[in-house]
Amino acid sequence: MTPVCTYTDYFVIATGQNPRQTKAIHDEVHATLKTESRTLPSSVDGVRESNWIVADYLDVVLHVFTPDARKYYALEDLWGDVPSVSVEAVSV
């Protein structure tokens, strides 16, 4: 995001298959960052509905979408001029 955005360095965009899974993804990221690096977001929105959860960690903004919300908001298209890196899902 750095070349075109002044308020954050990175967007992390993830997709859960349903609102329950998007909340679980957010909750795991939140718990891991809190425990391992003592990092808390400056703000979080969308947890109640869990179709699009956005958590602002200042240098990184986490977006967790359901498939329909991700398609509708199309952040990859909106920020298409920013370099991107795709990462496959990790199973634990």
Do the domain assignments include residue 92? no
Check: CB of residue 65 under 8 Å from CB of residue 22. Answer: yes
Q: Are strands 10-15 and 60-65 parallel, antiparallel or unpaired?
A: parallel
What residues make up the domain containing 39? 10-78
Number of domains in the chain: 1
pLDDT value at residue 6: 67
pLDDT value at residue 79: 73
Low-confidence ranges of the chain (pLDDT < 50): none
pLDDT value at residue 11: 85
pLDDT value at residue 47: 97
pLDDT value at residue 85: 72
Q: Which residues touch 7 (CB under 8 Å, ≥6 apart)?
A: none
Do the domain assignments include residue 88? no
Kindly report the CATH number assigned to the domain that includes residue 68.
Answer: 3.30.460.10
Residue 29, helix vs strand vs coil? helix
Do the domain assignments include residue 90? no
